[in-house]
């Protein structure tokens, strides 16, 4: 190999290494103390160090467990695990950072049950997370995002932490009780005083989150109705189905970003 091709090959290798490092550096796992003897870990996804206009504090569904203590960098999750994990790199951008909260250390074994998502302990944990995030992005507005059972956290925290947050986004909201718990079947949505946006698929086949549950709230809150997408590749209450907006990631992300940045957004997607 002559000198010129050798130098070119070396530069390409260096560029690839730097690019891989940048891809890994865009997100990190941060662990902070919250309540006495309790810690909470969260994913911080921010593509650069520039100041952010908004930070999304996101809550996944199910029992909320990501087991971040077991993951190595770069973080990899199966696409079928949760919609908010799947779209995190799309949601975070020049103006927005995304924070996805794991369960607290004292609930690692069983995860967060429905009742816990509405407790003062949960609120204390997230108040500490928000305080830590504000040190990193002092001028950013804080928004709460939940999907499926994560909406139990986002809705309850939208009430208890209303002094700290600029708004909430509830996607695939669980308005009906089931064998896992009461979900938001007893929640008084009128107690939400911060701006709140609902995003829901009209063909959500999950019995816990029927479209009719949020359709009844359209007189009081903005509801973005989704339709279409890709054919389901999972059960009706799982992420690769209308419940997880499968095939509509870009459109859902755009609505979330516009809401957080104070821009107009469509009331239906696609």
Give residue 25's pLDDT.
53
- Count of CA atoms in the C-beta half-sphere (13 A) of 5: 2
Q: Which tokens in the block code for residue 7? A: 């130098």
> Does the structure show a pLDDT above 60 at 8?
no
> Across the chain, where does the E strand assignment appear?
27-33, 39-45, 54-59, 96-101, 141-147, 167-171, 196-201, 223-226, 268-269
**Rounded Cα distance, 103 and 191, in Å:** 25
Give residue 13's pLDDT.
40
For residue range 119-137, what is the model confidence (pLDDT) as tens digits?
A: 999 999 999 999 999 999 9
pLDDT classification of 49: cutoffs 50, 70, 90: confident
Give residue 21's pLDDT.
43
Query: What value does the mean pLDDT of the chain take?
Result: 92
For residue range 192-219, what is the model confidence (pLDDT) as tens digits?
A: 999 999 999 999 999 999 999 999 999 9
Mean pLDDT, residues 215-243: 97
Give residue 254's pLDDT.
98
pLDDT classification of 72: cutoffs 50, 70, 90: confident
Give residue 224's pLDDT.
98
Mean pLDDT, residues 216-242: 97
How long is the chain? Answer: 270
**Rounded Cα distance, 206 and 204, in Å:** 6
> Does the structure show a pLDDT above 50 at 23?
no
Give residue 27's pLDDT.
92
Give residue 102's pLDDT.
98
* H or E element that contains 254: helix 249-260
For residue range 235-249, what is the model confidence (pLDDT) as tens digits?
A: 999 999 999 999 999
pLDDT classification of 20: cutoffs 50, 70, 90: very low
Give residue 151's pLDDT.
98
Using CB atoms within 10 Å of the CB of residue 162, give its burial: 0 to 12 exposed, 13 to 18 middle, 19+ buried: middle
* Domain 27-269 falls under CATH 3.40.50.1820: yes
Using CB atoms within 10 Å of the CB of residue 152, give its burial: 0 to 12 exposed, 13 to 18 middle, 19+ buried: buried
CA torsion 229→235→238→243, rounded to 10°? 40
**Rounded Cα distance, 189 and 67, in Å:** 31
According to DSSP, the residues that pair with 55 across neighbouring strands are 97, 142
Tokens 């339709």 locate to 227
pLDDT classification of 69: cutoffs 50, 70, 90: confident
Phi first, then psi: what are they for 236, rounded to 5°? Answer: -65, -20
Name the H helices within 32-110: 83-86, 88-91
Tokens 């994913």 locate to 43
Q: What angle do CA 33, 112, 187 make, to 5 degrees?
A: 115
Angle between helices 150-160 and 120-136 (to 10 degrees): 80
Mean pLDDT, residues 251-263: 98
**Rounded Cα distance, 56 and 141, in Å:** 9
Phi first, then psi: what are they for 125, rounded to 5°? Answer: -60, -45
For residue range 138-187, what is the model confidence (pLDDT) as tens digits?
A: 999 999 999 999 999 999 999 999 999 999 999 999 999 999 999 999 99
Tell me whether the omega of the peptide bond preceding residue 74 falls within 30 degrees of 0, making it cis: yes
> Does the structure show a pLDDT above 60 at 14?
no
* Residue among 233, 238, 173 nearest 208 (CA): 173
For residue range 98-109, what is the model confidence (pLDDT) as tens digits?
A: 999 999 999 999
Give residue 9's pLDDT.
42
């Amino acid at each position: 190999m002559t000198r010129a091709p050798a130098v070119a090959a070396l530069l390409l290798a260096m560029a690839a290494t730097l690019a891989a490092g940048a891809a890994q550096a865009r997100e990190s796992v941060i662990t902070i103390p919250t309540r006495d003897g309790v810690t909470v870990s969260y994913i911080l996804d921010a593509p650069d160090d520039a100041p952010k206009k908004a930070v999304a504090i996101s809550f996944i569904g199910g029992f909320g467990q990501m087991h971040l203590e077991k993951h190595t960098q770069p973080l990899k999750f199966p696409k079928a695990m949760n919609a908010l994990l799947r779209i995190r790199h799309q949601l975070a951008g020049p103006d927005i950072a995304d924070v996805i909260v794991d369960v607290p250390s004292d609930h690692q074994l069983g995860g967060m049950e429905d009742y816990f998502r509405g407790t003062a302990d949960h609120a204390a944990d997230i108040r500490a997370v928000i305080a830590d995030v504000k040190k990193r992005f002092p001028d950013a507005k804080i928004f709460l995002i939940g999907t499926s059972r994560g909406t139990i956290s986002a809705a309850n925290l939208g009430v208890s932490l209303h002094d700290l947050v600029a708004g909430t986004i509830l996607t695939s909201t669980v308005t009906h009780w089931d064998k896992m718990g009461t979900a938001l079947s007893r929640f008084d949505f009128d107690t939400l005083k911060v701006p709140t946006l609902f995003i829901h698929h009209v063909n959500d086949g999950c019995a816990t989150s029927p479209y009719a549950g949020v359709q009844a709230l359209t007189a009081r809150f903005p509801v973005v109705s989704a339709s279409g997408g890709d054919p389901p590749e999972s059960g009706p209450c799982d992420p690769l189905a209308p419940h997880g907006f499968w095939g509509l990631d870009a459109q859902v992300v755009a609505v979330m970003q516009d809401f957080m940045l104070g821009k107009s957004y469509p009331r239906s997607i696609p």
